[in-house]
Amino acid sequence: MNKLRLVGNELLRRQRNFFSLDQIVKTTGLKRNDVRDILLGFWAEKLLVRIHKNRDYSWSKGPPLLNVRYRVIMPAKLAARIAPQYRGENNAADRIWFVIRRKVTFTRRDLRILTGASSSNVRWYTKRLSKAGIISTRGRSGEWFLLNDVGPRRPYVGEILSGKRSVRIGPKRVVA
Amino acid sequence: MHLMKEKFVTTKNVRKFQMAVHRVNHKLRGVERMALVTGEIGLGKTEAATWYSAHNGAVMLNIWPRMSQHWLLRALVWELGMEPGWRPEKLIEQIKGRLLARPRTIIFDEIDHLFRDSGSGRVDTLETIRKVHDVCHCPVVLIGEEWVDKKMSKFPRIDDRIVERVRFEKFDLSDVKQIIGELSDSKFEGDAVEKITQESGGRFRPIMSLIHAAEERARVNQLRSIGVKDLG
Query: Does residue A36 contact residue A49 with C-beta atoms inside 8 Å?
Result: no
Find residue A55's DSSP bridge partners: A66
The 3-state secondary structure of B48-60, one letter per residue: HHHHHHHHHCCEE
Q: Go through chain A and tell me how many residues it has.
A: 176
Q: Residue B106: its pLDDT value, please?
A: 96
Please report which confidence band the pLDDT of residue A174 belongs to, taking 50, 70 and 90 as the band edges. very low
> CA B15, CA B187: separation in Å to the nearest integer?
25
> CA B126, CA B131: separation in Å to the nearest integer?
9
**For A1, how many CA atoms within 13 A lie in the half-sphere containing its CB?**
12
> CA B182, CA B232: separation in Å to the nearest integer?
23
Helix-strand-coil split of chain A, %, nearest 5 = 45, 15, 40
Residue A94's closest chain B neighbor by CA? B54
- The string of pLDDT tens digits covering residues A19-28 is 988 899 999 9
Please list every residue in chain B whose beta carbon sits closer than 8 Å to the beta carbon of residue A99: 50, 54
Q: How far is B9 from chain A (nearest CA, A)?
A: 9
Please list every residue in chain B whose beta carbon sits closer than 8 Å to the beta carbon of residue A116: 8, 55
- The string of pLDDT tens digits covering residues B42-97 is 899 999 999 999 999 899 999 998 888 999 999 999 999 888 999 999 999 999 99
Residue A149: is its pLDDT beyond 80?
A: yes
Amino acid identity, position B192: A
Query: Does residue A59 contact residue A81 with C-beta atoms inside 8 Å?
Result: no
B79 near A CB under 8 A: yes
| CB nearest B94 (choices: A114, A116, A176) | A176
| CB nearest A176 (choices: B60, B79, B93) | B93
A95 near B CB under 8 A: yes
What are the residue ranges spanned by the domains of chain B? 12-167, 173-230
Asked whether the beta carbons of residue A112 and residue B6 sit closer than 8 angstroms, the reply is yes
- The string of pLDDT tens digits covering residues A78-115 is 888 887 665 667 889 999 999 999 999 999 999 999 99
% of chain B surpassing 90 pLDDT: 46
- The string of pLDDT tens digits covering residues B128-163 is 999 999 999 899 999 999 899 898 888 889 999 999
* Whether the model pTM is above 0.80: no
| CB nearest A89 (choices: B50, B51, B57) | B57
| CB nearest B83 (choices: A99, A103, A173) | A173
Query: Does residue B6 contact residue A113 with C-beta atoms inside 8 Å?
Result: yes
Number of C-beta neighbours around residue A139 at 10 A: 6
B50 near A CB under 8 A: yes
Q: Residue A175: its pLDDT value, please?
A: 42
Using DSSP, state whether B86 is helix, strand or coil.
coil
Residue B183's closest chain A neighbor by CA? A113
> CA A52, CA A29: separation in Å to the nearest integer?
23
Q: How far is A114 from chain B (nearest CA, A)?
A: 5
> CA B161, CA B146: separation in Å to the nearest integer?
19
Query: Does residue B97 contact residue A176 with C-beta atoms inside 8 Å?
Result: yes
Q: Residue B2: its pLDDT value, please?
A: 47
Please report which confidence band the pLDDT of residue A176 belongs to, taking 50, 70 and 90 as the band edges. very low
Q: Residue A159: its pLDDT value, please?
A: 66
Nearest to A72 by CA among A2, A5, A9: A9
A64 near B CB under 8 A: no
Residue B59's closest chain A neighbor by CA? A152
Q: Residue B1: its pLDDT value, please?
A: 45
Picking from A91, A97, A102, A110 by the largest number of B CB atoms within 10 A of its own CB, the best residue to mutate is A102
Query: Does residue B167 contact residue B38 with C-beta atoms inside 8 Å?
Result: yes
B80 near A CB under 8 A: yes
Q: If you count residue pairs, one on A and one on B, with CB atoms under 8 Å apart, how many are there?
A: 56
**Fold type of domain B12-167:** Rossmann fold (3.40.50)
